[in-house]
Structure 1
Amino acid sequence: MKKLTILLLLLVVLSLTACNGRKNAETNTSSGEAQTSKSEAKISTGSHKVLVVYFSRVGNADLPKNVDTVASASLKVTKGGVQGNNEVVAKMIQKAVGGDLFLIQRADKLPADYSVIERQGQEERDANMRPKLAKHVKNMGSYDVVILVYPNWWFDMPMAVYSFIDEYDLSGKTIVPFCTSGGSGFSNSIETIGKLEPKATILEGLEISQDLPNNTEDDVNKRLSKIGFIK
């Protein structure tokens, strides 16, 4: 009788273990499907009013006319002169999808020396600062898509980008992030944007090397095509 009781208990334990295994498998499958669905999400059909927002060192720092664009990160020599890498990417996007261009511009200028900017960026991040902005979007309500282009500073967005996001309620809008970095990609910035704007739809953006390889514009257009902006 005692052996029979032990046998029955073992059968019950094995049965419960099998059920839990099936349940966990179902949960993992559902989670995977949700992530895939999110990465494959596209912009809704129809016309859209797009605002391409970017943060760049150029326009936020007093750079000398003879600034070294070879040794200095985040700068690019173009036909239009020296531009910030994120400005170059933002203009690629605007060329492909149209819309308006907006530079997130601090009220206080950043120093010209990039190493000093790096230290200041880290200090501002550690203090969770919100730099005051010099420019503002007067008609944010008229846009339904915000494409956000920014560099990765210390595994995060520059704090001026936080200031921009804090200033506007982007509920109901579609946000598409593009990030330039030296190898850290988005880090946790997409999740951060989601927490700051929980009622916005965030589509899959693109992380880009800060060196802006020759195929950058092709990669930008492919991503815009993938999410339904261009055919």
Structure 2
Amino acid sequence: MALAFSLAACGNSQNDTTSASVSQEPITSQSAQAAQLPEKDASSSGEDESGSGSKILIAYFTAAENSGIDAVTSASYTTVNGTSVGRVRAVADMIAAETGGELFSIQTSVVYPTDGGELIDYAAGEQDANARPELTRQIENLDQYDAIFIGYPNWWYDMPMVMYSFFEKYDFAGKTIIPFNVHNGSRFSSTIKTIQELEPEATVVEDGFTVSERTVADAAGDVASWLDELGY
């Protein structure tokens, strides 16, 4: 099954202004299981397996972990190694496998629709209202992290509004922010510039990783090569 949302003609440039997408990632019984896979969780102690403080955080937002219901009929997730998981989470897992960083799921009190059309409309409404969805999880001991990978889908040429809540809550001054995202044609749009504006005292890597929602499952090699180029 496959379901993609193209909200205009899909472009391929980083600053594409002729296409938009909502990468819907509804939760399923299997994706709920994936969300519980063993991981180093930044909401806990923040120590790596050797007992030393971890220096890398991988924070990500996926609608799959914020849908609140079991959408077994939806096709808007990806399957990696036989497990269904939200697309942005899938990329986060790939980064974690290469870097040993800790995963942090950005979660909100908002229950996002799992129906494609409803999610598109909801995302547009949040943008129109300049909404700031409430965050329901907190990062513990942010000071211990030097590098912060931050992932999100591209919704209507922008980050989901919960990402604005996230950046307004946390001060990443002196840290390195490394963006990654999942898109349906719009790539990063202008979101990296937006992050730079929201976190002016952080170093924001402009060479982020962006991948089409249709090829997420096969992105592990590209993620590894990208991290190699960045020195991780």
TM-score (norm 1): 0.73
Q: Distance in 1 between matches of 2:85 and 2:163?
A: 19
Aligned partners of 2:195 and 2:111: how far apart in 1? Answer: 25
1:96 corresponds to which residue? Answer: 98
Larger radius of gyration: 1
Aligned match of 1:138: 140
Q: For residue 148 of structure 1, report the CA deviation from its aligned partner.
A: 0.6
Partner of 1:127: 129
Cα deviation 1:161-204 (Å, max 9, x = unaligned)? 11111110000000000111011000000000000000101112
1:225 aligns with 2:228: yes
Count of residues in correspondence between the two structures: 179
Which residue, out of 211, 216, 219, partners 1:216?
Answer: 219
Counterpart in the other structure of 2:111? 109
Task: List aligned pairs for 1:114-193, cutoff 5 A.
Answer: 114-193=116-195
Tell me the TM-score normalized by structure 2. Answer: 0.73
Structure 1 214/117 Cα, relative in aligned 2: closer, same or farther at 3 Å? closer
Higher relative contact order, chain-length normalized (CA < 8 Å, sep 6+)? 2
Identity, in percent, stands at 38
Alignment deviations for residues 59-78 of structure 1 (CA, whole Å, 9 cap, x no partner): 10024252322xx3xx1133
C-alpha separation in 2, matches of 1:127 and 1:186: 22
State the 4+ residue runs in structure 1 displaced beyond 3 angstroms: 78-81
Q: Gaps spanning 5+ residues in structure 1: where? A: 1-46
Q: CA deviation at 1:84?
A: 0.4
Aligned letter for 1:224?
A: L
Per-residue deviation, 1:213: 5.0
User: Which residues in structure 2 correspond to 1:9-24 (within 5 Å)?
Assistant: none
Distance 1:213 1:144, change over 3 A: closer
Structure 2 residues without counterparts, runs of 5 or longer:
1-52
